[in-house]
């Protein structure tokens, strides 16, 4: 067939007029800088309007639209209704606030469109650098391996797969049928739900995740752990992994990791530590005692997007034994083998260390942010958040109508409005209503949890934009709304 007959005009997705898109790009950047600079002036929560919701119920577009019009739709219908974890009074769940520099780094990574998996390219080395820094920050040996992932959830599953491989190398090829009895995993009752999901996904089954009771400080009871291990062994189960928490999601409790490491060694079990946010204070010398044992774990997960304030998504898993890590995921396939020279040379592919083949260039925003701020800045900000948590706890305790519901070992504060004379059920409803009004009135966005049946308003402070006065506002407004609810119900 003749070339001319194929197409009248050869097409591409690149702009026909580069300067127009360039101009629009600059406007986007201006808009975003303004948006970030003025975040404090807007309510922390704005309910998506009917028009915004309707804009997401459209048929697949058949005809092309002007880039500017598409951007304007984003500007009017998406941007104003953010989850808004960039706001100084956002303390819901555990979410970091990102940074303007991180945003720019993401733009660079996207511009390169780098697929960081295999091949002789610099992004591979940027990720290796970030992994080396991660080992250093967490006290892991240089020889350890690691991988960047979308979040601690995926980091935890990745570690569990390696732990399972360590328990029995036949599982990889023959499945769980090759094990002589049901495998069991141990972690405190405060362990994050994503670990249970991981245990389900890798075929162990969440019934075989043993929820070990916690003490009054929400730390795993190691006496109970020992008892459960012996009991399970006697009953024919095969314990293979302990999951320790460096910072539980409910209250920020740090398990006695050193003791868990000793138990793991004694019983020949894998020790994984979920340090999604609570491993980060390992950067502070004052946490040397409470996080002791972290550096002994066989694997560790932590997020960059929470308490290191890197833009979503960015997390890391570290594995002490690199051979085991590789063995658990690698398989030789013809189209992925490395060559001596050319683009197919380069370092060992990251696809050999996790589930993903195609992977984005998450490493760039981490690398650039760590360089721009230096660990000293992070130490200052983490300490600031820790002090703010203590300050909030003090403010709560000073208010006669408020009640602190859990110890504050880290950056999470659980409290409630309790004017006295109400039973738990009423208090739970009252505080749930207060929380919804705090959000609806755009004041502040803590979230919630339930501790021993008591509904708690919960502030998780991984926010580099919060000021001490923001917590005064939270306390005053909680009391005001509490009284308002009592009047109206
Ligand atoms: C947030 C969190 C996770 C899950 O991390 P993602 O980054 O959201 O996937 C796991 N464990 C703990 C303790 C967490 O706080």
**CA–centroid distance, residue 249 to ligand 1 (Å):** 7
The 10s digit of each residue's pLDDT in 227-252 is 999 999 999 999 999 999 999 999 99
**Same domain flag for 125 and 250:** yes
Question: What is the domain range of residue 455?
Answer: 374-488
Q: Which atom of ligand 1 is nearest to the CA of 305?
A: 7
Which are the contacts of 122, defined by CB distance < 8 A and separation ≥ 6? none
Q: What CATH number corresponds to the domain at position 472?
A: 3.90.1150.170
**Same domain flag for 285 and 398:** no
Q: Ligand 1, from 152, 251, 305: best to mutate by most atoms within 8 Å of Cβ?
A: 152
The 10s digit of each residue's pLDDT in 258-297 is 999 999 999 999 999 999 999 999 999 999 999 999 999 9
Q: What CATH number corresponds to the domain at position 214?
A: 3.40.640.10
**Same domain flag for 319 and 206:** yes
| 35 domain-assigned | no
Which residue's CA is the closest to the ligand 1 atom numbered 12? 276
Cβ 272 under 6 angstroms from ligand 1: no
**Same domain flag for 255 and 351:** yes
**Same domain flag for 323 and 186:** yes
Q: What is the reported pLDDT for 9?
A: 79
| 13 domain-assigned | no
**Same domain flag for 164 and 308:** yes
Domain count of the fold of the chain? 2
Q: What is the reported pLDDT for 2?
A: 63
Residues of the chain with pLDDT under 50: none
Cβ 255 under 6 angstroms from ligand 1: no
Cβ 157 under 6 angstroms from ligand 1: no
Which residue's CA is the closest to the ligand 1 atom numbered 15? 249
**Same domain flag for 447 and 385:** yes
Cβ 190 under 6 angstroms from ligand 1: no
Cβ 118 under 6 angstroms from ligand 1: no
Q: Which of these three, 360, 390, 410, is where a domain ends?
A: 360
**Same domain flag for 408 and 352:** no
Q: Which atom of ligand 1 is nearest to the CA of 277?
A: 15
Cβ 276 under 6 angstroms from ligand 1: yes
| 254 domain-assigned | yes
**Same domain flag for 332 and 443:** no
Q: Which atom of ligand 1 is nearest to the CA of 303?
A: 7
**CA–centroid distance, residue 438 to ligand 1 (Å):** 24
Cβ 192 under 6 angstroms from ligand 1: yes
**Same domain flag for 324 and 251:** yes
**Same domain flag for 276 and 399:** no
**Same domain flag for 317 and 378:** no
**CA–centroid distance, residue 63 to ligand 1 (Å):** 41
Which residue's CA is the closest to the ligand 1 atom numbered 5? 152
**CA–centroid distance, residue 58 to ligand 1 (Å):** 33
Cβ 204 under 6 angstroms from ligand 1: no
**CA–centroid distance, residue 153 to ligand 1 (Å):** 6
| 46 domain-assigned | no
HEC string of the chain equals CCHHHHCCCCCCCCCCCHHHHHHHHHHHHHHHHHHHHCHHHCCCCCCCCHHHHHCCCCCCCCCCCCHHHHHHHHHHHCHHHCCCCCCCCEECCCCCCCCHHHHHHHHHHHHHCCCCCCCCCHHHHHHHHHHHHHHHHHCCCCCCEEEEECCHHHHHHHHHHHHHHHHCCCHHHHCHHHCCCCEEEEEECCCCHHHHHHHHHCCCCHHHEEEECECCCCCECHHHHHHHHHHHHHCCCEEEEEEEEECCCCCCCECCHHHHHHHHHHCCCEEEEECCCCCHHHHCHHHCCCCCCHHHCCEEEEECCCCCCCCCCCEEEEECCHHHHHHHHCCCCHHHCCCCCCCCCCCCCHHHHCCCCCCCCHHHHHHHHHHHHHHHHHHHHHHHHHHHHHHHHHHHHHCCCEEECCCCCCCEEEEEECCCCCCHHHHHHHHHHHHHHHHHCCCCEEEEEEECCEEEEEEECCCCCCCHHHHHHHHHHHHHHHHHHHHHC
């Amino acid at each position: 067939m003749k070339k001319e007959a194929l197409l009248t005009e050869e097409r591409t997705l690149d702009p026909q007029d580069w300067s127009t898109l360039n101009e629009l790009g600059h406007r986007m950047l201006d808009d975003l800088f303004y948006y970030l600079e003025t975040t404090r002036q807007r309510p922390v929560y704005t309910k998506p309007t009917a028009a915004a919701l309707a804009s997401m119920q459209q048929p697949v577009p058949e005809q092309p639209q002007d880039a500017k019009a598409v951007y304007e739709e984003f500007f009017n219908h998406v941007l104003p209704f953010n989850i808004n974890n960039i706001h100084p009074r956002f303390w819901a769940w555990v979410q970091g606030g990102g940074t303007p520099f991180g945003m720019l780094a993401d733009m660079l990574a996207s511009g390169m469109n780098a697929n960081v998996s295999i091949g002789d390219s610099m992004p591979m080395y940027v990720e290796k650098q970030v992994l080396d820094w991660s080992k250093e920050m967490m006290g892991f040996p240089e020889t350890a391996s690691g991988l960047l992932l979308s979040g601690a959830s995926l980091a935890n599953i990745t570690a569990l797969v390696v732990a399972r491989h360590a328990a029995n190398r036949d599982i990889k090829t023959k499945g769980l049928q090759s094990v002589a009895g049901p495998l069991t995993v141990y972690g405190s009752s405060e362990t994050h739900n994503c670990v249970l999901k991981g245990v389900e996904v890798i075929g162990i089954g969440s019934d075989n995740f043993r929820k070990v009771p916690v003490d009054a400080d929400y730390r795993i009871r190691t006496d109970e752990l020992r008892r459960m291990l012996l009991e399970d062994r006697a009953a024919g189960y095969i314990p293979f992994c302990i999951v320790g928490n460096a910072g539980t999601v409910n209250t920020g409790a740090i398990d006695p990791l050193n003791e868990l490491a000793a138990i793991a060694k004694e019983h020949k079990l894998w020790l994984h530590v979920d340090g999604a946010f609570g491993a980060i204070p390992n950067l502070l010398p004052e946490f040397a005692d409470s996080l002791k044992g972290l550096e002994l774990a066989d694997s560790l997960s932590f997020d960059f997007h929470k308490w290191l304030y890197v833009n979503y998504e960015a997390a890391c898993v570290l594995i002490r034994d690199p051979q085991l890590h590789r063995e658990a995921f690698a398989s030789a396939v013809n189209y992925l083998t490395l060559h001596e020279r050319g683009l197919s040379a380069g370092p060992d592919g990251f696809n050999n260390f996790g589930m993903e083949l195609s992977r984005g260039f998450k490493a760039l925003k981490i690398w650039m942010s760590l360089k721009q701020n230096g660990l000293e800045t992070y130490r200052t900000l983490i300490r600031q958040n820790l002090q703010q948590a203590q300050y909030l706890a003090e403010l709560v305790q000073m208010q006669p109508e408020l009640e602190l519901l859990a110890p504050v070992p880290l950056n999470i504060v659980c409290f409630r409005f309790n004017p006295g004379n109400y039973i738990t059920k009423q208090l739970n409803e009252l505080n749930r209503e207060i929380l919804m009004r705090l959000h609806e009135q755009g004041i502040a966005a803590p979230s919630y949890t339930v501790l021993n049946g008591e509904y708690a308003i919960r502030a998780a402070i991984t926010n580099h934009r919060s000021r001490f006065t923001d917590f005064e506002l939270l306390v005053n407004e909680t009391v005001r709304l509490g009284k308002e609810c009592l009047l109206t119900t």
